[in-house]
Amino acid sequence: MEASCVSTTLFVTLILGIVIWLWKFVNQFWIRPKKLEKFLREQGLNGNPYKPLSGDINDLFKSSMEAEAKPMPLSDDIVPRVLPYFHQTWVKHGMYVCI
C-alpha cells in the first residue's frame, strides 16, 4: 500500500515538473516575444513578425544571395549591396524598425 502511494507521488511530481517546464518553454519562446511584438507595434515601431527559432535568418540569406547575383552599379550607394536585408527592411518599414 505504501509503495503505491510513493510511486503515485513520484508520478504526480514528474508530471507537474514536465508541465512547469513546458509552460516556461512556451512562455520564453512564444508568449513573451509575441507580447513584446504587440507592445512595440502599439508604440509605432513596425517590423517583421516574430518567427520562433529561425527568425529572419532565411530572409537575410535570400536577400544576400540576390544582391550578390546582380552586378554592382557604379554609384556611391553601396548599402543595398553590402546590407541588402536591412536596406529592404528600412525601405519597407521606415528608419525605426525593430529588427
pLDDT digits (tens, 9 = 90+) for 19-28: 999 999 999 9
Q: What is the mean pLDDT of residues 71-80?
A: 75
User: pLDDT at position 63, please?
Assistant: 86
For residue 95, what is the DSSP state?
S
What single string gives the DSSP state of each residue in 61-85? HHHHHHHHHSPPPSSS--HHHHSHH
Q: Give the separation between CA 34 and CA 49, rounded to whole angstroms.
A: 9
Q: What's the gap between Cα 86 and its chain centre?
A: 16
Domain spans in the chain, listed from the N-terminal domain onward: 1-44, 45-99
pLDDT digit string, tens, across residues 8-59: 999 999 999 999 999 999 999 999 999 999 998 999 888 888 888 888 888 8
Highest-scoring range by mean pLDDT, 28-32, 49-53, 70-74, 92-96 = 28-32
